[in-house]
Each structure stands twice: as C-alpha cells, then as structure tokens.
Amino acid sequence: MTDPDPTTTGPLAPDDITADSPFTLPGFFGALSEGRLVAARCTECDEHMLPPRTACYSCGGRAVSLSEQPKTGEVVSYTSVNRPPSAFEHLAPVTVAVVELDSSARLTGRVDAALADVAIGDRVELRVRDPEAAGIDPAFDLSYEAEWPVHVFELA
Amino acid sequence: MSTAHLIAVGSSPLGETDLPGRDLFSKALAEAFAGLPDPADVVDGLYVGAQSERYENQIMQGTLMAEWAGLRNVPAERVEACAAAGALALKNAVRDVRAGVHDAVLACGVEKMTAGGTEGATNALGAAFERALEQRSGITAPATYALLARRYLHETDATEEDLARIAVKNHRNAADNPRAMFQQAVDLGTVMEAPDVAPPLKLYDCAPVTDGAAAVVVANNEVAEDLSECTDAVRVAGVGSAANNLAVAERDLTYVEGADVAATAAYEDAGIGASDVDVAEVHDAFTVCEALLAEAAGFAPEGRGTETVTDPADRSAGWTDVRINTSGGLKARGHPIGATGLLQAIEAHEQLTGRAGARQVADADTALLINEGGVADAHTAAHVLTTR
C-alpha cells in the first residue's frame, strides 16, 4: 500500500508540498473524499501518522512516504460527549472513540452507535461522509474546510 | 547563572465574579505587592498566561497587564499553551532572572471564563484540540480526558470509585483553603451519583469553569535580599517543559510521557529525585490526570496513581510520602485556565513558608508543580521549589 513515489523517500522539497498532495490537509481530504484514507509512514521507524505530515514525531526523521490505510480497526478507548460544541449540539450525545487501524495508525472519530453498544476491542470500519449530510452545522467550518468530508466509524 | 526566587504572591477571588479579567489581575497584584514598593520599582519585565482571546475579545494581554501594573516601556508578553499558560509565564520569568536579563519579573495569569457562558467556555477550550480530525469529530475537554480515563480503568485495577475519591480528597483540602472556589467537602455518594459528563467522567471528576487571576514576583538574590523584610523567598530550583503530540489519538493514553520528561528535567535541574518532594500540585483538570501525573512524576508505581488519596503509611510499595494537591487542586480550588499554573506556585509558596494554615504539611521544604495544557501532556511545564 506504500506509495513508491521516489520524491517521498527523503525530506520533501518545497515544490512537493502542494494542495494536491496528501502531505497537506487539502490533499488529504481530497483523497478522503475519493474514498482513500492516506497516512504518512516514516521510512525509518515505520510510525504511521494521520493526517500526513512531513516529519516523524516518533524519530524526528523526514524520510516519510504516503501509505493508503485500511479502513478497519478496533476501539482503543471511547466515551460519549454529552454536551458537545454548539455545531454538534443536536447530535448529542455524540459517541467518540480512539481507533487503531489494522495498519497501527490511530485516529479519533465519531462512532455511529450508542455508547452502551461500544466496548474496547470492538471492530469498526471507517466511513466517509459529507459534513452537511452528517448533520454538522456548516457555520462550524472554516472557509477552506467547507468541501472536506468527515469520517465516522461504524461497528463492523 | 543567577538564582531565581519566588518572593511574593497574590490571587483574585476564584469563581464566577462580576469583575472582568483586568480587574481580577488588579486584585491579584494588590495582594502580591501589599507592603512592597511599586511594581515599577521592583520588576522590569512581565509575562502573562492567558488561554484565549475568545472570552473577552482581547489579545495584547502583555501590554494591558503591564499598563495596569504601572509598568511602561518594559518587555511584556502573553504566553499560551492552553492550561499550561500560567507555568509558562513562570518559566519565562525564571529563565530571564537566571540569565541575568532581568533582576525581577512579574509572572501572572488571567482568565475570565464565564464571559460567554458554558457554551462560550466549551468552544474556547475546544480550540486546544487538534482541528482537522478531532475538533471536527465533536470532541470536548471532558471527552478527551474520558478517553484517557476509560483506557486507564481498562488497563489497571482502578475503578470509577477510585477516581471519585480523588475529587472527595481535593474538596476536603479546599475546605481549608481560603483561596479556593469550593470550600466545602463532598461525600463519595454525591460524586458517584452526579450526572455523566463524558462517561466514565461525571460532574465531580471535572474541574470547574472559573474566573480568576494570579500574580507572582520572581527575583534574583539581590532583589530578594533587598526586599527580605517584606517578603519570604522560596527558591525556584528546577524547571522543565515538554510538548507531546496534539492529537489524543497519537498519544499513549495511560502514560503521560511529556509530563515524565518535564518532571524529570525539573528534578535534574534541582539536583533532587521524586522521593525528595514533600508536596506537589499536579494538574487535576480531571480526576484521572491526578493519577496519571502521580505516576509520571515518579511518586507512584504504574497503575497505582489513584492512591494520591491514601495516607502515605498505607500506600502501595513504591509510593513516596508526598502530599498531592493540598490546595484542593484544579477540581476544588478552581481552574481559571491561564492563572492555574501560578495558583499552583502560590500553594507551594504557602506550604514552604509555613503559611498553609489547617492544610500545612509539617516540615515541607520541597515542592513539585506540574501544569499541563491541551489534552493532558500536549504541553507540560514543571517546577521544583525549595527552601533547602
């Protein structure tokens, strides 16, 4: 699943860092809107990072590549947000979890299930949704976020 | 390198008040400089910790606080790392005094959290979390800490009742602290039966939204000596700080590594170890933090952090005899974000100068402060204070 693009096996050059590249947020969410979840993978220590970035927090190296991620994983921890920020208020209580994907990458996301139906270790699958269809107040978005999809986990 | 001392301290009342931020600062300043010369004759720089401009639509807090203290044409800067802002102000003041850049510096912190109601505070605090994936998933401060707590209860023998006992202990301590927001005890049943905020965290697991300000004077040997008749000096012997990742998902949920790094650096700077610490103020924004920080600071063995509530003689093997959050902690003393790190320093100053009244720990001479910002150890600043 690792991108063999040779420009991503050492430090990125300024010209590599464009809005088309998943190493930037527009590029990451652009790929996500097409159904691809892309992480940065450190070629030195194998750390996976979501969203991608140009340096590895684990070892400090800049030899990072892109790696399309599996959408399945398991719940590491979870809770419910009983009083969420105002843009999410009508969705309350919002179940959220930290999920470890089968690649070892981790991310936080909403879970489309009631709190009582979730447990540590549960298998989940990441779905990509349009933010308005997901019910989030569009006023929450910054101008550049308006077209970005949101991710939600469903119990597998 | 010069030696830095904490020589004078003051705080505003803590809780919901009619006073805006600058007036809360005036209250803290008035206490800190009672019986002292004018601030302009004592300090030649200022740092102010302030979490968010959303509360009062005001940045330039360095300039404003300097003006309100009667300081002009001196360096005066706001510092921010969410709830670690107060300790960052202290850290910068200590660094300047140690380096000989200034003879004395005012470190202060202020937050007017109630200005926008609960919704305003929730949204302002939400800005401390990673935006792209975590804020956009609807998380809040209690929810991120609930993710830590859920995992901690899963991996250790600790229970929700063990977390609740931390809140009970901190309320009991605050009952003896005239500065505290909640000067009353609560019982275990009340804590356990309180409404869920973000399970497993309930209302009393969470520090309150608090208005407040704090101010402390950091001075070199010469200034401390000149003012020794009207002040009591406590030496700032160790400083450490560290950032960890911003996203909670990219953190070890049961080990606050950044806090370990910061505390270890502060111990090394001071030439002490964890067992030398008599009193500690650690960042109990949520009860689980107190347990995690007791472990990260080297006071408690892994998985035994909730024994902060236990008498030292009855704690598990491997625990030190430190007393934790004698002030009542963030939970019960109150948590005006930018001022909290300095309120921790004030408690240490009172404990180490024998002014802690009914909560005085006998013969306390060394204190550790751990102030955090973001989710847990997204940023940590640690200080060792001592009269040894």
Cα distance between residue B246 and residue A107, in whole Å: 12
Interface contact flag, A51 B132, Cβ < 8 Å: yes
Q: Please state the domain extents for chain A.
A: 6-68, 72-155
Chain B partners within 8 Å of A108 (Cβ): 133-134, 137, 139, 147, 247-249
Peptide bond into B200 cis (omega under 30): yes
Domains contained in chain B, CATH given: 4-117+209-226 (3.40.47.10)
Q: List chain B residues with CB under 8 Å of A82.
A: 195-198
pLDDT tens figures, A65-74: 999 999 999 9
8 Å CB contact of B122 and A83: yes
Q: Please report, to the nearest 10 degrees, the dihedral formed by the alpha carbons of residues B306, B312, B313, B316 taken in order.
A: 30
For residue B200, the chain A residues in CB contact (below 8 A) are 79
For B300-313, write each residue's pLDDT tens digit. Answer: 999 999 999 999 99
**pLDDT at A4 (0 to 100):** 46
DSSP assignment, residue B286? B
| CATH architecture of residue range(s) A6-68 | Single Sheet (2.20)
Closest CA to B284 of B272, B293, B276: B293
Binding-face residues of B in 131-160 toward A, CB within 8 A:
132-140, 142-143, 146-148, 150-151, 154
**Cβ–Cβ below 8 Å for A98 and B147:** yes
* C-alpha distance from B143 to closest chain A C-alpha (Å): 6
- Six-digit token string for B75: 């360096």
- A108/B133 touch (CB, cutoff 8 Å), yes or no: yes
A79 CA to chain B: closest CA distance, Å? Answer: 6
pLDDT in tens, B99-157: 999 999 999 999 999 999 988 998 899 999 999 999 999 999 999 999 999 999 999 99
Exposed/middle/buried for residue A6 (C-beta within 10 Å: 0-12, 13-18, 19+): exposed
Enumerate the residues of chain A whose CB falls inside 8 A of the CB of residue B133: 50-51, 107-109, 151
Does A6 have pLDDT greater than 90?
Answer: no
Q: How far apart are CA A12 and CA B176, in angstroms?
A: 57
Whether A150 and chain B come into contact, CB under 8 Å, resolves to yes
A70 within 8 A of A89, measured Cβ to Cβ: no
Write out pLDDT tens, residues B260-298.
999 999 999 999 999 999 999 999 999 999 999 999 999
For B327-378, the pLDDT digits (tens) are: 999 999 999 999 999 999 999 999 999 999 999 999 999 999 999 999 999 9
